[in-house]
Structure 1
């Protein structure tokens, strides 16, 4: 079915603190006729991710900020419903970055065809088989250089990236995998489903003390999705030669006051620690190695994944704010419907 109207979400104002409904607007956009080489795609699933909060600020970063009064972008997967490109005929399933809308349109070069896997939802290409899984893989292998017998600590472990980090760490030979999460239910899920050896609810006590209980002999690798007190705790728990992969700092994304200072930094010197941040743009070359390993892991059931699915394009902003409040388990996606 050909659709000529697209429901889209635009950034109306720069948020101060937690984004509110006043910072965005839902609009109806009439799409023009396709030009040569273009395709029209009915999105099936949209991705909402923590990095999008940073793009709402007008600051220099690794990706440009969202422009005011323009439709936001993000990962999406859908099906070509109209095409003027021989490369992407009608019916092709594609990945692309024109999220935050139900119907996307543009040059075929901006869309990448994927082969659906029987029994696997298309949303997996936004998570375990996509950038989420690749982020976990890159952080462990290229940044933290995980080794057999490492003790690995993951903050925000019940999120989309965190759940993948824990499982990949185990498959790469970690001797102990520890995670933090924001509820007792998530903690239970980490140890019962995702194979974590220990996990703790960071809201129930001092993070450094909770980490010391979960990893009494210290840690070798820290995968940081949170920052703040979690990073300070990890710096205090590292063994000599410890390595930290800094992926996110969700504790600070909505902060309006001065940033929380990081403690235990002297251990960087005295214990010979390495701490490195990363974004995927510099590691796209790792994707083939990731796909070669993740595909069989997923097929064999060695890797499992959860999704939190929110229905309807009208609910996209609620899904995003829910993600920022930690209401998801695993990958948060919007099923366009």
Structure 2
């Protein structure tokens, strides 16, 4: 009786062992999880790295690497490292976290490129037919004239505008007027918003900025800027219209503007997001605008670095 029972048990164990439908359980990993990023830019020649570590056991140390070479270690949270960088060079960083049990976790690669100072802007002014997409541009028909970069009501510089619309702005000159606090609220004058509330802030309350305007005087006159019109999309009963509009902003030092503000005017609302690092000197800045039509949805504006691509300079039309 005992022998038969043992035979049945052995057969059952053999069947379980041979059951191909039972997937093996993956081994549990208790290695630290590491996320690497950098703090807002305060010095254009410096990057402040920050590693966020989640671990079951206590973290012993975090090692920071650049292009595969060890920079150094931090043994106390928050885990940070400061590195000096050069303009226009891309650096690849990675962080390794070690816990007291000897386990190691690593971050993804994190690339950092410091933009060189903006010393000039050149382009070709064109005629914009309308705000439909794809954007229809025609050769400039306003003839020769001049372009002025204006700040605070005063001309910073003037440059010739060729008959075919070509121009070049030399941006080595700093503005002498129009200074504002380098805050998100100061940028709201560009879209003409007020009465805004939220948590947007500046990394340096002492920093200042100037908003530049490019004005054209020729057979046609007005404000000029890079403009891009994107195809609309539907959101329920609303059509969402997308525009990207460039502008020039001067900062007296490196500063970052971040956060969100909500601006109300009557029944309309506009949500404004800031993720904008500014270098000392002139900066290319884009307003990415979402305008709804057909429903009571808020408009959205995001301030970001650079101009809309490709840089299509036109006389700025009235946006809907």
Q: Same fold (TM over 0.5)?
A: no
State the structure with bigger RCO (CA 8 A, min sep 6), 1 or 2: 1
Q: Which has the higher strand share?
A: 2
User: TM-score, normalised to structure 1's length?
Assistant: 0.22
Higher helix share: 1
